[in-house]
Amino acid sequence: MNLSLTVKKIDSTLDSIIREDLKILKDIKRYTIQSGGKRIRPILHLVFCDILECNHKSKWEVASITELIHAASLLHDDVVDSADTRRGKKTVGAQFGNKTAILAGDFLLACGIERLNRVGNQSLMDCFTQVIRDLSVSELIQMQWEKNPKITMDIYEKIIYGKTASLFGAATESAAILAGQDSSTAKKFQEFGVLLGNIFQKRDDLLDYFTDSKTSGKDFLKDFHNQLYTYPILVLREFAGSKDRKDIPKIIESGNEAKILELMEKYNIHEIIQDEIQDGVYELMNFLTEYPDKKSKSLLMEQLENIR
Ligand code: FPP
Ligand code: MG
């Protein structure tokens, strides 16, 4: 598996799936393909196809559909979050207006579903339509709870399942479906993707508090200043003594950077979350030992090492 050739082929498949006549849709298509995204979801699908020695003719299309659903959800998400930039570029909403961004997201989703339908596999259809439901439901739950100090860990886990882990799970499960594996193997594959997605999102939340903008590519403490109850805050709330715990909502409201970072340090929040991520990564690596060594598998192992 050659990474840059793989990305090229994913992009040309995306190009063939997004059929367009209107000038604005051509612009959106260019924007989607040249987004600077890392194509993590499609690559994950293709690695798992390779691990199962599956050479199904639709694997490139299914891989690209994972990216298309992701791209559509980001177009909508940037409207929900009133975001002007993504990955250092203007968002579609900032450039063409929010109405265009919403309709463009719908269009991308429709292109993906149309192509998936042509693969003619009901289990695949069920797998991805469930993801679209999960994305929408979790975004609604997030809107309701992300700034609410009463948010519980269960609610947080539900949100990140829907917004991130569900699509990762579909990327891996769909490889097992295409390979004609039985439902218990498909379930094990789905669980791998879900755990990876869960780790991925928690790591993203962690970066906000512990990594400078240059390294993370995101504004340092942006979630904190947006008053969001993301993972580091929820873990801090679990570990803090009762006096400090009571102060957390006030610190968030006041945007006192020094104070929140002091509490994070005092209760070792970075180490606690990093340990949890490491345990998850070991579990994922352990799962992979059941499968034969291949170049694609080493590539995935390398990526897992980097997360750790
Ligand atoms: C990014 O999270 C958000 C998502 C990946 C999901 C957004 C889902 C919707 C808006 C529902 C609509 C769904 C479809 C299928 C069209 P974030 O805001 O925490 O991350 P960010 O920093 O990358 O914006
Ligand atoms: Mg967002």
Model pLDDT, residue 7: 92
Nearest CA to ligand 1 atom 17: 77
Percent of the chain with pLDDT over 70: 100
Q: Structural domain boundaries of the chain?
A: 3-307
Q: Which residue type, as a one-letter code, is found at position 114?
A: E
Neighbours of ion ligand 2 (CB under 5 A): 77, 81
Residue 36 reports pLDDT greater than 80? no
User: What are the pLDDT digits (tens) for 162-177?
Assistant: 999 999 999 999 999 9
CATH number assigned to the domain with residue range 3-307, chosen from the 4 options 3.40.50.2020, 1.20.81.30, 1.20.1290.10, 1.10.600.10 = 1.10.600.10
CA of 143 to the centre of ligand 2 (A): 11
User: What are the pLDDT digits (tens) for 114-137?
Assistant: 999 999 999 999 999 999 999 999
Model pLDDT, residue 28: 87
| Ligand 1 pocket: which of 113, 133, 145, 163 to mutate (most atoms within 8 A of CB) | 163
| Ligand 1 pocket: which of 28, 67, 77, 219 to mutate (most atoms within 8 A of CB) | 77
Q: Which atom of ligand 1 is nearest to the CA of 105?
A: 16
Report residue 110 as tokens: 């429709």
How far is it, in rounded angstroms, from Cα 104 to Cα 17?
14
Q: Looking at residue 38, what DSSP letter applies? A: -
Model pLDDT, residue 218: 78
Model pLDDT, residue 200: 96
Nearest CA to ligand 1 atom 18: 77
The whole-number average pLDDT for the span 260-287 is 97
Which band of pLDDT confidence, cut at 50, 70 and 90, is reported for residue 216? confident
How far is it, in rounded angstroms, from Cα 32 to Cα 276?
33
Residues with CB under 6 A from ligand 1: 69, 72-73, 76-77, 80-81, 105, 109, 132, 135-136, 139, 163-164
Kindly identify the ligand whose nearest atom is closest to the C-alpha of 163. 1
Q: Which of 191-205, 254-268, 286-300 has the lowest mean pLDDT?
A: 286-300
How much is the mean pLDDT over the chain? Answer: 94
CA of 241 to the centre of ligand 1 (A): 33
Return contacts of 141-145, CB within 8 angstroms, 24+ apart.
Answer: 143/80, 145/229
Hey, how many other C-beta atoms are within 10 angstroms of the C-beta on 130? Answer: 14
What's the pTM? 0.95
Model pLDDT, residue 276: 98
Which band of pLDDT confidence, cut at 50, 70 and 90, is reported for residue 295? very high
Residue 306 reports pLDDT greater than 90? no
Residue 224 reports pLDDT greater than 90? yes
Residue 87 reports pLDDT greater than 90? no
